[in-house]
Structure 1
Amino acid sequence: MDRPGFAASLVAGGVAGASVDLILFPLDTIKTRLQSPQGFKKAGGFRGIYAGVLSAAIGSFPNAAAFFITYENVKWLLHTDSSSYLKPMKHMLAASSGEVVACLIRVPVEVVKQRAQVSASSRTFHIFTNILYQEGIPGLYRGYASTVLREIPFSLVQFPLWESLKALWSWRQDHVVDSWQSAVCGAFAGGFAAAITTPLDVAKTRIMLAKVGSSTASGSVLSALHGVWRTQGLSGLFAGVFPRMAAISLGGFIFLGAYDQTHSMLADLGRAHS
């Protein structure tokens, strides 16, 4: 197994991340407003569904690039035989490592973006400077732990399932999957992972949107989940599950398909010029 190219992983990951974040931004806004403490209508309803898009546009490329650089290199370091029963474990560890690194970029972007999504009248830069003034750097990383605790279980499901589905499809047709087939596998894996991790996403949203100084803002995932369960029950824990599944299924199709396609093209170019 050749060591993955840094440039190929960076560019392919960045292109995939930017594509999916910008295309599916309206669905993400609707999901955030469904999960917000003040409710969907008060958070903006269907108005201004591109509020916060600037922060997503700025952060999506480096966020996804950081994930895939880490993911591919950890996979390479943990190389196992293709028939090894440890292969899913390798993908789990690689995906978890990628999420921890990517969240260093993702969380500040997510904090600014989600506050803009539920306050469409405020500008992204104003929200960013306001967080720094009131809470300092820790304010930009509010919800880091809850985001990592959401993303790692999500990746533990999505990436081994994606890799396994690709391997199965490749075996059935006796050749490596095409990019569109990788995209289909990504859509299924993403939608399934999105459904079962929605309560963690609700907790993350509540922590990021909580008033400064409140108990929820302290960042306790269990406390946030308990609060939602006590006030809204099971429906509250799965608020926004359908737009989340729709967004992440479509996102998985675009994100993982675009990543495979771009990575393959760059690898071919590299071989042609070597």
Structure 2
Amino acid sequence: LQTRLQAGQGYGNTLKCVLTVYRNESLTGFFKGMSFPLASIGIYSSVVFGVFSSTQRFLSQLRHGDPAAAPSLGDMTLASLVVGVISVGIGTPVELVKTRLQMQTQPYTKANIKQNSTAPGSSVYRGSIHCFRTILQKEGIPGIYRGNVAMLLRDVPGYCAYFVPYAMFCDWITPHGSIAPNPFTIWMAGGVAGAVSWAVCTPMDVVKSRLQADGVYSKQYKGTIDCILQSYQNEGLKVFFRGLLVNTIRGFPSSAAMFLGYELCLRAMKGWQSETNP
């Protein structure tokens, strides 16, 4: 829904988008382009959390001489910035394939610059692998990383608004005297962090979605700045908040589950390590 609301035409609001997708594509329309993200989410999340933790430990070692020292707000912010930069290298091709698969049935108007040989509204890609291979053959490596600047501008502040609020909210709602936050605290803090992060990310997420969807049938945008200017000139400031509701609603449960799973797995592995090496 988020991609179609941001880069599509004629969907209006979230409810109309749901009804339109279901009427035209049935239930399968809601799961288009998900095989690539599902196959890569484990690697992607491992890199994100691993880089964040490693950077924090490195900064604590550098500043305090102890990698286990509590990180400062500045350390968490810097670690989040590093995560945002590195995540783009992995995330951009995955996001591109997902967006292209979801938008290939989107009807385009004749005003949308020149059309490719494939008729708008018909399927261009047969699946995730075919989509990736086709983009690579026709557009090369730059094509696979289309929208990477917009994604960088989305993820760098986005991860700052992800990890920092999580840590702050955990500290805030953890009872005094507790060694570590309980599972409910982790779940709630992760959900709040996810909602806040996606609220911050949405304007550049709109730009990223439009740049990556641009190329299924047409070439409308020359780059990130051109996409921002054209979107603003044609639809006003409100265009950059398309999909905000969907993003924040989705962000809460997905991030809550992500942080809870990460923290519980970390505790379990630390427990096994202490039993193995007492």
TM-score over 0.5 (shorter chain): yes
Contact 1:33 1:45 in 2 (8 A): no
TM-superposed deviation, 1:102: 2.1
Distance 1:170 1:136 in 2: 50
Larger radius of gyration: 2
Amino acid at match of 1:214: K
Identity between Structure 1 and Structure 2 (%): 23
Quote the residue 1:131 is aligned against.
135
**CA RMSD after TM alignment:** 2.4
* 2:277 aligned with 1:251: no
Quote the residue 1:188 is aligned against.
192
TM-score relative to the length of structure 2: 0.79
TM-superposed deviation, 1:110: 0.7
Distance 1:129 1:257 in 2: 36
Amino acid at match of 2:269: L
Contact 2:80 2:163 in 1 (8 A): yes
* 2:5 aligned with 1:34: yes
Amino acid at match of 1:211: G
TM-score relative to the length of structure 1: 0.80
Residues 21-61 of structure 1: per-residue CA shift (max 9 Å, x gap): xxxxxxxxx111111143436xx724311111111122211
* 2:111 aligned with 1:118: no
TM-superposed deviation, 1:86: 7.5
Structure 1 stretches of at least 4 aligned residues deviating more than 6 Å after TM superposition: none
User: Number of aligned pairs?
Assistant: 240
Quote the residue 1:201 is aligned against.
205
Residues 199-241 of structure 1: per-residue CA shift (max 9 Å, x gap): 111011111111388352x432x33222222212233111111
Q: Of 252, 269, 273, which aligns to 1:270?
A: 273
Unaligned runs of 5+ in 1: 1-29
Amino acid at match of 2:249: A
Query: Higher relative CO (CA 8 A, sep ≥ 6), structure 1 or 2?
Result: 1
* 2:33 aligned with 1:52: yes
| 3-state SS, counterpart of residue 177 of structure 1 | coil
TM-superposed deviation, 1:67: 1.2
Amino acid at match of 1:125: I
Distance 1:85 1:271 in 2: 21
| 3-state SS, counterpart of residue 31 of structure 2 | coil
Unaligned runs of 5+ in 2: 12-16, 106-122
Contact 1:33 1:39 in 2 (8 A): no
Distance 1:73 1:256 in 2: 16
Quote the residue 2:92 is aligned against.
107
Contact 2:8 2:103 in 1 (8 A): no
Residues 133-185 of structure 1: per-residue CA shift (max 9 Å, x gap): 11012111111121111011111122111111112223546331023311200
